[in-house]
C-alpha cells in the first residue's frame, strides 16, 4: 500500500481501518502497522517491536540483538522467526 493513497486511519474495536482513495482495508492493528511502517524502513523484530533498519549500528547474532549505539546500551531483541531480516 502506497502511503500517499491513505486518506485517514481509524481504530475500531481493536482493529484498524485504513481508508484510501478507492477502498478501506481492515486488519489487526499490528498487521496494518507493520505494512505502514515498511514504507518508512522499519521491520518487525518481535511481536510488539519494530526497528528502523537504517538506525542499526551493531548486530549480535548470538545474543539476537541489534544495537543503536557503540556502547551497546540501546538495543532491541530479535526473535528467531525474524532473524533473517536482521542477520543476513
* Distance, CA of 69 to CA of 46 (rounded, Å): 20
Question: Domain spans of the chain?
Answer: 1-40, 46-88
The model's pTM is 0.70
> In the chain, what percentage of residues exceed pLDDT 70?
99
Residues of the chain with pLDDT under 50: none
Question: Going by CATH, does the domain composed of 1-40 fall within 3.10.450?
Answer: yes
* Distance, CA of 52 to CA of 28 (rounded, Å): 21
Amino acid at each position: 500500500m502506497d502511503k500517499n493513497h491513505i486518506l485517514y486511519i481509524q481504530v475500531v474495536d481493536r482493529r484498524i481501518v485504513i481508508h484510501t482513495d478507492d477502498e478501506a482495508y481492515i486488519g489487526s492493528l499490528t498487521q496494518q502497522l507493520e505494512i505502514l511502517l515498511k514504507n518508512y524502513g522499519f521491520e518487525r523484530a518481535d511481536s510488539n517491536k519494530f526497528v528502523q533498519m537504517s538506525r542499526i549500528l551493531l548486530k549480535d547474532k548470538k545474543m539476537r540483538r541489534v544495537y543503536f549505539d557503540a556502547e551497546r546500551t540501546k538495543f532491541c531483541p530479535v526473535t528467531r522467526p525474524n532473524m533473517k531480516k536482521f542477520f543476513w
